[in-house]
């Protein structure tokens, strides 16, 4: 637990506050607000042009870390080096692709004195796109029907079953809406060439897009859930502006999800609410969303609460939040010097 006035040192990834932003900078902002003047932020970056690296009022010091594909051994070595210099108490990873490694390393990190607050391997894979439908069936959550297929010839049967339009999805990313078998076949080939097999064919659900930022304590309690309606989206489908809304069915859905899975840590439920009001879970992102600062602005600072739980505090679930809070993301040209770029690229530290 954190003693009064003790400086908290937290490492945060996802400093890529770019047009399709990582959540790191927003997480840091919430932490700085939750622990005023008591937090030192260590940025962990993969690339040299992640804006957070250069924002010295947000990130105190940044270290490059190995890409997830380098494996846990390389990452652990690097973190040992960082730990020697910085004495981290907590790590908050923010990328889907790196979570596998951080979950696997959690015991090793703990023995180095670094806390984390992450879902288990089982929770992580249960919510994977490929398993989502089974996941919904198991826990009585509304999810779109889907079929996981390997052959183009299976498309016809899938379409019979799901009806048109249907959504053809890649194993990792990308989704294409198909209105005919021919379009579905085209999408199948395009997505399998890009992301490999399997391909997921999903029932098309139309409605209003809502996201919920959720924090679970790992024991089945929902510490916080903030529903946000997207007001404006980018051409990549990312929320550019959004507003907190009041809707008990959404809060109940989040609670049901956390109670069923005992989800530990932050996550984002991507919801499609149909005309009849049913909230379908379209996807579950196993980490905080990029708009997470809105939870702090609305009165439920999820990153700060996560940090406290990771350090051993028991946190009571939040009950109130402000409805009608809006975030609008904006672009800002930060100015730096080639020396800073060379420093981070050459030495991996800035």
Which residues neighbour 2 within 8 Å (Cβ) at sequence distance 6 or greater?
A: 8, 89, 308, 311, 313
Do 72 and 104 form a contact (C-beta atoms < 8 A)?
A: yes
Q: How far is CA 115 from CA 107, 179, 306, 332, in A?
A: 9, 48, 11, 33
Considering the complex, what minimum distance in angstroms separates the CB of residue 343 from other proteins?
8
Which residue, 278 or 345, is less far from other proteins as judged by CB?
345
Identify any residues that bridge with 213 across adjacent strands, giving them in sequence order: 226, 268
Considering the complex, what minimum distance in angstroms separates the CB of residue 253 from other proteins?
29
Q: Is 157 near other proteins (CB under 8 A)?
A: no
Contact string (CB under 8 A) for other proteins, positions 178-207, x = contact: ------------------xxx---------
Which residue, 78 or 186, is less far from other proteins as judged by CB?
78
Distance CA 77, CA 100 (A): 17
Which residue, 171 or 325, is less far from other proteins as judged by CB?
171
Contact string (CB under 8 A) for other proteins, positions 98-127, x = contact: --xx--x-----------------------
Which residue, 248 or 333, is less far from other proteins as judged by CB?
333
- Classify 70 as helix, strand or coil: helix
Q: How far is CA 207 from CA 175, 241, 271, 272, in A?
A: 17, 18, 9, 6
Do 219 and 184 form a contact (C-beta atoms < 8 A)?
A: no
Write out the binding residues for other proteins, residues 60-79 only, by CB under 8 A: 64-74, 77-78
> In which element (H, E) is residue 191 found?
helix 181-195
Which residue, 78 or 256, is less far from other proteins as judged by CB?
78
Q: Is 48 near other proteins (CB under 8 A)?
A: yes
Q: Is 342 near other proteins (CB under 8 A)?
A: yes
Return the residue of 35, 46, 124, 318 that touches other proteins, per CB under 8 A.
Answer: 46
Q: Is 95 near other proteins (CB under 8 A)?
A: no
Distance CA 57, CA 181 (A): 53
CA 316 to chain CA centroid, Å, is 23
Return the residue of 6, 80, 150, 179 that touches other proteins, per CB under 8 A.
Answer: 150
Find out whether the peptide bond into 165 is cis, omega within 30 degrees of 0.
yes
Considering the complex, what minimum distance in angstroms separates the CB of residue 71 from other proteins?
4
Site residues (vs other proteins, CB under 8 A) = 46-49, 64-74, 77-78, 97, 100-101, 104, 150, 196-198, 338, 341-342, 345-348
């Amino acid at each position: 637990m954190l003693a009064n006035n003790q400086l908290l040192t937290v490492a945060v990834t996802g400093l890529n506050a770019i047009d399709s932003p990582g959540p790191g900078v927003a997480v840091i902002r919430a932490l700085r607000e939750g622990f005023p003047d008591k937090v030192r932020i260590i940025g962990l970056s993969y690339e040299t042009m992640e804006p957070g690296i250069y924002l010295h009022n947000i990130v105190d010091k940044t270290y490059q870390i190995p890409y997830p594909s380098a494996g846990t051994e390389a990452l652990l070595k690097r973190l040992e080096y960082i730990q020697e210099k910085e004495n981290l108490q907590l790590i908050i990873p923010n990328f889907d692709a790196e979570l596998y490694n951080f979950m696997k390393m959690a015991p090793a990190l703990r023995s180095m004195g670094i806390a984390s607050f992450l879902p288990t391997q089982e929770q992580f894979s249960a919510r994977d796109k490929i398993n989502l439908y089974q996941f919904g069936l198991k826990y009585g959550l509304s999810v779109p029907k889907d079929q996981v297929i390997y052959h183009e010839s299976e498309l016809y049967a899938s379409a019979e079953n799901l009806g048109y339009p249907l959504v053809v999805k890649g194993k990792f990313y990308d989704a294409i809406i198909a209105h005919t078998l021919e379009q579905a076949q085209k999408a199948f080939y395009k997505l399998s060439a890009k992301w490999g097999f399997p391909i997921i064919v999903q029932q098309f659900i139309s409605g209003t897009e809502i996201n919920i930022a959720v924090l679970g304590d790992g024991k089945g309690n929902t510490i916080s859930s903030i529903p946000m309606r997207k007001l404006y989206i980018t051409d990549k489908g990312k929320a550019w502006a959004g507003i907190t809304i009041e809707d008990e069915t959404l809060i109940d859905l989040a609670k049901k999800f956390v109670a069923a899975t005992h989800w530990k840590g932050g996550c984002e439920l991507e919801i499609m609410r149909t005309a009849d009001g049913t909230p379908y879970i379209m996807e579950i992102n196993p980490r905080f969303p990029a708009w997470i600062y809105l939870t702090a602005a609305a009165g439920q600072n999820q990153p700060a609460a996560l940090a406290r739980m990771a350090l051993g505090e028991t946190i009571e679930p939040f009950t109130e939040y402000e409805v009608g809070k809006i975030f609008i993301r904006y672009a800002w040209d930060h100015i730096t010097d080639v020396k800073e770029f060379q420093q981070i690229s050459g030495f991996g530290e800035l």
